[in-house]
Structure 1
Amino acid sequence: MGQAMTTTQFYLMGRRQSTLTGYLRHRATYKEGVQDAAVVLEGGGSSDSVDLSDKAVIVTGANSGIGFEVASYAAGKHARVYMFCRSMERGIAAKERIESLTRSKSVHVIECDVSLRSSVEKAVKEFEKKESSLHALVCNAGVLLNERTETTEGDEVTFASHFLYGSYYLGKLLRPTIDKKEGRVIFVSSGGMYNTKFPSWAIATSAENCGQAYSGNMAYSYAKRGQVLLGEAWTKEWGPAGPKVVSCHPGWVDTPAVQEAYGSQKKYLEPMRSCWQGAEGIAWLLSTKQDNLASGEFYLDRKPRTKHIGGPFFSSGSFTRNTEREAQEMMDSLKSKTGV
């Protein structure tokens, strides 16, 4: 009953908040400037007047979709942008497109498969050779597979890329370089996290669903719920003097990944947002003053949103809520698995 109610409420709430219609309604309430595109050159339209000069930004999965839009935005605001991409060939092609759009000469590609511990370690070392301070880490990369697939290191790919190495391990390794005064870590989570709480470590890493066979959607949802819990945990661990940590939902965005995952079922998510409309709220999290961010919160369109549904009349209920002990067990498992 809990799963059915939660899934139904997630869809109904998404119809109101996550579609293009929801974005346009939320945007009308913005108090800070907003752009109609990721890149607005002088004289080319309305700019939000942000300046990220002298700031370094990392965006994972930056060669396409939402990641490409966020990286383009940061480059257009004069940041030094580091695109962490699994494919150097696709990364370099995306870098050249961004340079053409922004006229920036400060865009860099670092090869990184965020599903692999070894690749994340290598990428961080390469970044630290170039930079001593990081303004923003945007953990955006990941995949959603319909068949269980393991990495060469023996981890389930979806969970490893979105959460285990692509968020936790990457964030842990980069923590010493993140600027305390203005720095932030942004987990690009998903409304899919509304479907579940974080289960036991054994279930999360195998992506079984109630004893059934592997479910790609549940592997994704577990990882996305994990990112939200991680944001809460690091907020407590780092304290008010540390960098801000937030998770966010881009809304229902028409990306190649969505097309691949949902196919003809995508019609139930329409009208969908463009990539920039989904990325715009993430760009704001990246660029706004740190004081405007509520650490540990889950954002959609510049505003913290509820983290739980499933109760009567869309109340938070308990179906997707982890106890403090369960959340700590997740953190302990992450530390045990990665050693940090």
Structure 2
Amino acid sequence: MGLFGPLAATTQFYLYGRRHCTAKGWARASANYDLGMLDTADLTSKVFIVTGANSGIGRCLSDYLASRGASLYMVCRNEARAEVAMREIRASSGNDKVHMLIGDCSLATDVRRVMQEFGNREQRLDGLVCNAGAITPTKTVTSEGYEVTLATHLLHGSYLLATLAMPHLRRCEAGPRVLFVSSGGMYNTPWPGWATANDAPASEYNQELAYAYAKRGQVLLAEAWASDPFFTGISIASCHPGWADTPGVDCWLGRGKAALAPLRTLWQGTEGIAWLCVCPQEEIQSGEFYLDRAPRTKHLSGPFFTEGTFTQNSPEEVSELMQAMRDATRMPG
């Protein structure tokens, strides 16, 4: 394998992204489908949870779901910002069924409390969008002992939250779905194993890799659950917004974001995720990785944009990941 796999994955993702992930990529993809269907979707009988809902893609998606009449629960870490966002969304949508649940998705205690509070208000859940994120320049460990990027994106913000949501999703009779908002950054790496992702020393920490590990983990989680008969009837997919001009991108890349230009608007990044929320269930292929309403390749590490092997994980490695998350969250298998 040598250096070819890592080099191919990184280089080909950038070239692939230039075609598919920019604003031009969205324009090219959206020319082939009905944009208007999102404007006519009736969500007045639907209940959604969106995490990371007060800014960026999460806020844009929350605006959309509320505008179509959904009962919306915004999971946010900061109460003051959540309050402002909730009031703005209620005012712009005319929908008073917009609520906030305050919790840090990196913490199991917060995630469990949030789902308890949700269960006190609602019995059924139609859609869960796991969008909350965090990234730090140096290794940061939560009060519960987990690397914060891993805990927020994958362990607690996706695996634990979605597991706790399953009883509510099963009460939905019309197309329940779980969406993990991943990133094209996952093209750069396979899942490295729990010891590397969570337990490596601070001296070996790399924020870009920490992010990519968690995002690859979300894709593997969607695959694993989609193939598990226990989740039959619930559509589970990973997705990404492309290269969108979000506050997170601005903070992380600064002037470097020019290399991704022309960046998508927030709505262009959100539109495909909104479609996954409202489309007929039979149009979702569980386990797939979506961009702009279509499943996309999950690997780009082979010659000439083929999948290759560098970023692929063995079934045993995926099983070890799932067991590690079960053990960490003390959830039954």
Q: Give 5+ residue unaligned stretches, structure 2.
A: none
Distance 1:58 1:238 in 2: 24
Distance 1:286 1:239 in 2: 21
Root-mean-square deviation (Å):
1.5
- 1:197 pairs, out of 179, 183, 190, with 190
- 1:54 pairs, out of 41, 45, 51, with 45
- CA shift for structure 1 position 5: 1.4
1:143–1:157 CA contact under 8 A, matched in 2: yes
State TM-score, norm by structure 2. 0.95
Task: Provide runs of 4+ in structure 1 moved above 3 Å.
Answer: 238-241
Q: Secondary structure at the match of 1:327?
A: helix
Question: What corresponds to 1:41 in structure 2?
Answer: none
- Relative distance call for 1:207 and 1:58 in structure 2 (3 A) is farther
More helix by share: 2
Distance 2:277 2:289 in 1: 14
- Relative distance call for 1:238 and 1:133 in structure 2 (3 A) is farther
Distance 2:303 2:34 in 1: 33
- 1:148 pairs, out of 128, 139, 142, with 139
Deviations 1:288-328 (A, max 9, x none): 11111000000000000001111010000000001111111
2:187–2:300 CA contact under 8 A, matched in 1: yes
Distance 1:252 1:207 in 2: 29
For 1:70, give the aligned amino acid.
Answer: L
Structure 1 residue 270 and structure 2 residue 274: aligned? Answer: no
Q: Give 5+ residue unaligned stretches, structure 1.
A: 36-46
For 1:321, give the aligned amino acid.
Answer: Q
Identity among equivalent pairs (%): 47
Deviations 1:98-125 (A, max 9, x none): 1111010100001010000000000000
Query: 235-244 or 116-125, which moves further after superposition?
Result: 235-244
Distance 2:121 2:112 in 1: 15
Question: What corresponds to 1:3 in structure 2?
Answer: 6
2:245–2:263 CA contact under 8 A, matched in 1: yes
Question: What corresponds to 2:17 in structure 1?
Answer: 14
What does 1:1-340 correspond to in 2, within 5 Å? 1=3, 2-31=5-34, 33=36, 47=39, 49-178=40-169, 179=172, 181-206=174-199, 213-238=204-229, 241-340=232-331
Distance 2:307 2:54 in 1: 36
Distance 2:163 2:65 in 1: 23
Distance 1:140 1:93 in 2: 19
- CA shift for structure 1 position 205: 1.1
2:225–2:231 CA contact under 8 A, matched in 1: no
Distance 1:34 1:250 in 2: 19
Distance 1:16 1:82 in 2: 35
State TM-score, norm by structure 1. 0.93
1:206–1:214 CA contact under 8 A, matched in 2: no
Distance 1:335 1:154 in 2: 15
